[in-house]
Amino acid sequence: MCAHILVAEDDDMQAKLIHRLLLQEGHTAVVVHDGRAAIDEAKSRTPDLVVLDLMLPKVDGLGVCRVLRQDGDIPVLMLTARSTEDDMLLGLELGADDYMTKPYSPRELLARIRTVLRRTLRPAEDSPVLRAGGITVDPARHKVTCDGSEVPCTPGEFAILHAMTAEPDRVFSRRQLLQLTRGHDRASTERAIDVHVMNLRKKIEPDPRRPVRLLTVFGVGYKLTGQPT
């Protein structure tokens, strides 16, 4: 699975390491060292994935992520030396699909990249269009509609809706959704699912504060109702 990957990292040694690893995996990669260059490069040639350092000069990683999300649903793997949960959740709220803290192992970085690419580049021509509760998910076109209106979704959000629409009214635990969206099952990152759900409710609920589609099952997880609202 070859992909074109944009690496935005201001640490030259880290950037060279990531670039070398990606080339060894058979990908093409472009490296930039500040946020403004990352935005310009992404607009010039849309990458299949952005590996994005949080602490970039000119425009920081959060600012870059905001712009990328305004322009489309490019997958984003965010890197940072910060390790607090608040930083992780903020990055996910802005649309990052995964989050790694430094120092990280090269093997884990490549594993995370493979997980995102498998989800976003997997051929979907034979996948059926799914419908539940006013939500339509078209895997072949990576398209979600809600009551006939298109809903922009990050790859992580799309993975959640795809799984839930395939099995309406099934209750998914946070751990199950985490495995679907990020390929990891560490309990310390399960709160990330709450952020994805919060973002989805803003997009598909008439009133996100009183959800009628994407429901919380207290003590268990979440479900997508199969009944139209």
pTM (two decimals): 0.65
Going residue by residue through the chain (229 aa), what tens digit of pLDDT does each one get? 678 999 999 999 999 999 999 998 889 999 999 999 999 999 998 899 999 998 899 999 989 998 988 877 788 998 887 666 666 677 777 778 888 888 888 989 998 898 888 777 765 555 788 999 889 998 878 889 999 899 988 878 888 898 899 889 999 988 888 777 654 434 346 777 888 899 999 999 999 999 999 999 998 899 999 875 5
Supply the pLDDT for residue 185. Answer: 36
**Alpha-carbon gap, residue 132 to 164, rounded angstroms:** 9
99 vs 101: CA distance, rounded Å: 7
Q: Is the peptide bond before 103 cis (omega within 30 degrees of 0)?
A: yes
* Residue 200 near residue 163 (C-beta atoms within 8 A): no
pLDDT for 40 equals: 95
42, 13 in Cβ contact below 8 A? Answer: no
Residues 9 and 35: their CA atoms lie apart, in Å, by 9
Closest listed residue to residue 157, CA positions, set 119, 101, 100: 119
Element (H, E) at 221: strand 221-224
How far is it, in rounded angstroms, from Cα 219 to Cα 226? 21
Q: 108-115: long-range contacts at Cβ-Cβ below 8 A with a sequence spacing of 24 or more?
A: 109/18, 109/21, 110/21, 110/25, 111/183, 112/77, 112/182, 112/183, 112/184, 113/5, 113/22, 113/25, 113/49, 113/51, 113/77, 114/1, 115/182, 115/183, 115/184
Q: How far apart are CA 148 and CA 221, in angstroms?
A: 27
How many Cα atoms sit within 13 Å of 93 on the Cβ side? 10
How many Å apart are CA 190 and CA 203, to the nearest integer? 21
CA–CA separation, 23 and 52 (whole Å): 17
For residue 147, give the amino acid letter: D
Rounded-to-integer distance, Cα 83 and Cα 85, Å: 7
